[in-house]
Amino acid sequence: MPLSLDRPQRVLFYLPMVTNWWFVQIVEPLLRRLAEEGHEVHVLAPAPWCGTGLGPEELARCTDLPHVRWYLMDGPDHPSTRTVPEDAEGLIGFVHSLAPDVVLCRTADYATAARFPGIVRLLMEGRFEPFAPPPRWILLAERPHDYGLPAALDPDQQDRLRALIAPAWDRLQQRLAPPSGERAALFDRLGIPQDRPVLLLPLECETEDNFLAMHRVGPKPNSALVRAVSEQVGDRATLAVTNHPLNDLHVDADALLGTIAACPNAVLLPPGIGAHPATLAIARHADGMLLGDSKTFALAAFFGVPMLRQTRFATGGWLNAYAELPAFLDAVTAGTARAPAAGDAQLWFAQCLLNDAFDATGPQADVLARIARPVDPDRWEGALGWLTQTLPALFGVDRTASV
């Protein structure tokens, strides 16, 4: 049933995977706004465990919100809410007793949340390279990692979105175009052979609070993934491996380093190369990218790099992603691999930046209106204006294109 905006709504925040950063930067601003707008706000979350859940620090921030109702799960089974609840039926029954109109979730267990009453949406990261707005940008999603799916837009709306983003798109394409001869010099410096294709393998986050890793396809942890892919690729290509920034900060790298050392066809790149993160710097030169649920699919889309995506989730057809490594490797080595469609890539970035994603602390954090109207051309100019303030060097350019 469509969401009605002509009356106050009962909104439940369900937060088993919320970290302190996510609560402070994203959840708290959203629940404050909803409460100030007169909606009935409820919060259901487990006690702290593995860097997730709500504790005294988070609750103390909201003592000035007396009308927000809090429900904290602190029984012995509360850690299970991060993956598969031991008492899923009891949890679902409790949420039914609250009878929410809308449920906003920060959870990896989307299957249980999908059985809640009301309209259920996941709070997901909305920051995609290379545009990279601040980390506070989020998306409202039905599943965690459905990537590149086009909205239902008529041709005029598509043309308008492309026109709105065209100046920033062209500027970023020019800014990130690699200098002539850079590939050979860069590969020589990094120890990457130039007599075979290069496959970029960006590793996913493995911190203890990232329970979304439960959905990954293929070997775990990352060291096992690198070993398995290396064995399948053999001497037909070189694996250029980049670690996730949070892994560099918080995850022991001994197993990964040992695996890379034992794989003659793999090179672990430094976190940064020149002025850019390593994944971006090498994506411009890669012959293919090997992906699972990483958001770096957006770099492959922007630079037109063929990709393999192995995932449990949906992938936009315009990305032309391969699903199996042997077929992908054959196509890359033959020079015939399908690449993402450039025009559709520009449209998807425009859709994401101007229609789908939003700053949780900004004026367009109108969550209920976004649920009621998933596509709303009336918010596109406002989104572009906010981007101009947020990323002035990129979006603060003359916008004379007809829209």
Cα four-point dihedral sign 149, 151, 155, 157: negative
Has residue 114 got a pLDDT over 70?
yes
| pLDDT band at residue 6 using 50, 70 and 90 as cut-offs | confident
Residue 214 and residue 83 in contact, taking contact as beta carbons nearer than 8 Å:
yes
Task: Tell me the backbone φ, ψ of residue 354, rounded to 5 degrees.
Answer: -105, -25
> Torsion over CA of 18, 314, 295 and 160, rounded to 10 degrees?
-110
| pLDDT band at residue 1 using 50, 70 and 90 as cut-offs | low
Has residue 397 got a pLDDT over 90?
no
Whole-number pLDDT of residue 124: 98
Mean pLDDT confidence for 315-330? 98
Burial class (CB in 10 A: 0-12, 13-18, 19+), 324: exposed
Has residue 401 got a pLDDT over 80?
no
Mean pLDDT confidence for 219-232? 97
Exposure pattern of 270-293 as b/e (b: 16+ CB <10 Å)? Answer: eeebeeebbbbbbbbbbbbbbbbb
Cα four-point dihedral sign 134, 135, 141, 143: positive
For residues 197 and 334, give the distance between their C-alpha atoms in angstroms, rounded to a whole number.
Answer: 10
Mean pLDDT confidence for 203-214? 97
Query: Mind listing the pLDDT tens digit for each residue in 260-307?
Result: 999 999 999 999 999 999 999 999 999 999 999 999 999 999 999 999
Cα four-point dihedral sign 122, 124, 126, 130: negative
Mean pLDDT confidence for 135-161? 97
Q: How many CA atoms lie within 13 A of 185 on its CB side?
A: 8
Whole-angstrom Cα Rg for the chain: 22
Mean pLDDT of the residues in the chain: 96
Whole-number pLDDT of residue 398: 58
| pLDDT band at residue 144 using 50, 70 and 90 as cut-offs | very high
Whole-number pLDDT of residue 3: 85
Has residue 372 got a pLDDT over 90?
yes
């596509």: which residue's tokens?
A: 375
Query: Mind listing the pLDDT tens digit for each residue in 332-369?
Result: 999 999 999 999 999 999 999 999 999 999 999 999 99
Burial class (CB in 10 A: 0-12, 13-18, 19+), 171: middle
Q: State both tokens at 238.
A: 């070189």
Residue 205 and residue 211 in contact, taking contact as beta carbons nearer than 8 Å:
no
Whole-number pLDDT of residue 9: 96
One-letter amino acid at 273 equals I
Query: Mind listing the pLDDT tens digit for each residue in 7-50?
Result: 999 999 999 999 999 999 999 999 999 999 999 999 999 999 99
User: Phi/psi class of residue 12: alpha, beta or left (left: φ > 0; alpha: ψ in -120 to 50)?
Assistant: beta
């077929």: which residue's tokens?
A: 327
| pLDDT band at residue 402 using 50, 70 and 90 as cut-offs | very low
For residues 58 and 188, give the distance between their C-alpha atoms in angstroms, rounded to a whole number.
Answer: 49
Percent with pLDDT over 70 in the chain: 98
Whole-number pLDDT of residue 88: 97
> Torsion over CA of 53, 55, 57 and 60, rounded to 10 degrees?
120
One-letter amino acid at 35 equals A
For residues 391 and 301, give the distance between their C-alpha atoms in angstroms, rounded to a whole number.
Answer: 21
| pLDDT band at residue 317 using 50, 70 and 90 as cut-offs | very high
Has residue 140 got a pLDDT over 60?
yes
